[in-house]
Amino acid sequence: MKLKNIFGLGTVVSAKKYDGFCGILITDVISGSPSDKGGLLRGDFLLSVNDTEIRDLLDYKFAAADESLEIVYRRGDKVCSATLRNNGNSDDIGLSFGDYLMDKTRRCQNRCIFCFIDRLPTGLRDTLYFKDDDDRLSFLQGNYVTLTNLSRRDIDRIISMRLSVNVSLHTVNPELRADMLGNKHGGEGIAILNELAKSGVTLNIQNVLCPEINDGEELERTLRELTALLGEPDCGVESVAFVPVGVTKHYNENGKVADMPENCKRVRIYKQSEATAVIDIIDKYGDSALDKYGSRTFYPSDEFFVLAERDIPIYEYYSPFFEQYENGVGMWRCFEYEFQSALLSAFDNGQNDNVKYKNVGLVTGESAAVLFRRMFDLFVVSDSVKIFAVRNDFFGNDINVAGLICGSDIVAQLVNQDLPDMLLIPESMLRNEGNGITRTTFLDDMTVDEVSTKLGRLISVLPVDGTGFFRAIAES
Segment 37-52, tens digit of pLDDT = 999 999 999 999 999 9
* Three-class DSSP category at 302: helix
pLDDT for res 122 = 79
In DSSP notation, 350-414 reads IITT---B-SEEEEEEHHHHHHHHHHHHHTT--TTEEEEEEP-TTT-TT---GGG--HHHHHHHH
Q: How confident is the model at residue 88 (pLDDT cuts 50, 70, 90)?
A: low
pLDDT, tens only, 279-319:
999 999 999 999 999 999 999 999 999 999 999 999 999 98
Q: Which of 97-111, 146-160, 176-190, 247-261 has the lowest mean pLDDT?
A: 247-261
Q: Quick one: pLDDT at residue 195?
A: 98
Q: Give the pLDDT score at 86.
A: 82
For residues 384-398, give the mean pLDDT: 95
Whole-number Å distance between alpha carbons of 242 and 309 = 17
Q: With respect to CATH, is domain 11-97 assigned 3.30.460.20?
A: no
Q: Where are the domains of the chain?
A: 11-97, 117-329, 334-473
> Would you say residue 259 has pLDDT above 90?
no
For CA atoms 118, 119, 124, 125, give the dihedral sign. negative
Say if CB 445 and CB 405 are below 8 A apart: no
Which of 90-99, 283-292, 344-353, 364-373 is least confident? 344-353
pLDDT, position 16: 62
pLDDT given for residue 338 in this prediction: 96
Is residue 172 pLDDT above 70, yes or no? yes
Choice among 9-18, 43-52, 111-120 with the minimum mean pLDDT = 9-18
In tens, the pLDDT along 407-420 reads: 999 999 999 999 99
The DSSP output letter for 125 is -
Cα–Cα distance for residue pair 333/141, rounded to 1 Å: 24
Superfamily per CATH, domain 117-329: pyruvate-formate lyase- activating enzyme (3.80.30.10)
- Provide the terminal-to-terminal Cα distance of the chain, rounded to the nearest Å: 70
**CA proximity to 458, closest of 389, 335, 359:** 359
d(CA 404, CA 237): 30
HEC profile for the chain?
A: CECCCCCCCCEEECCHHHCCCCCEEEEEECCCCHHHHCCCCCCCEEEEECCEECCCHHHHHHHCCCCEEEEEEEECCEEEEEEEECCCCCCCCCEEECCCCCCCCCECCCCCCCCCHHHCCCCCCHHHHCCECCHHHHHHHCCEECCCCCCHHHHHHHHHHCCCEEEECCCCCHHHHHHHHCCCCCCHHHHHHHHHHHCCCCEEEEEEECCCCCCHHHHHHHHHHHHHHHCCCCCCEEEEEEEECCCCCCCCHHHCCCCCCHHHCCCCCCCHHHHHHHHHHHHHHHHHHHHHHCCCCEEECHHHHHHCCCCCCCHHHHCCCCCCHHHCCCHHHHHHHHHHHHHHHHHHHHHCCCCCECCEEEEEEHHHHHHHHHHHHHCCCCCCEEEEEECCCCCCCCCCCHHHCCHHHHHHHHCCCCCCCEEEEEHHHECCCCCCCCCCEECCCCEHHHHHHHHCCEEEEECCCHHHHHHHHECC
Question: What is the pLDDT, as a whole number, of residue 18?
Answer: 75
Mean of pLDDT over the chain: 90
Considering the chain, what percentage of its residues have pLDDT values greater than 90? 71
Provide the 10 A C-beta neighbour count for residue 337. 17
65-69, 91-95, 258-262, 377-381, range with the lowest pLDDT? 258-262
d(C-alpha 103, C-alpha 171), whole Å: 31
Closest CA to 406 of 379, 429, 373: 429
Q: Structure pTM?
A: 0.88
**Least confident among 2-6, 23-27, 33-37, 157-161:** 2-6
User: Over 70: is that where the pLDDT of 350 sits?
Assistant: no
Number of Cβ within 10 Å of residue 272's Cβ equals 11
Residue 69: strand pairing partners: 84
pLDDT of residue 127: 78
Instruction: Give the pLDDT band of residue 2 (cuts 50, 70, 90).
Output: very low
| 9 pLDDT more than 60 | no
Query: Rounded to whole angstroms, what are the CA distances from 378 to 119, 248, 336, 381?
Result: 37, 33, 10, 8
Gap between the Cα atoms of 60 and 47, Å rounded: 10
Query: For residue 361, what pLDDT is reported?
Result: 97
With CA atoms as reference, report the closest residue to 342 among 463, 475, 466: 466
Distance CA(251)–CA(30), nearest Å, equals: 49
Domain spanning 334-473, CATH architecture: 3-Layer(aba) Sandwich (3.40)
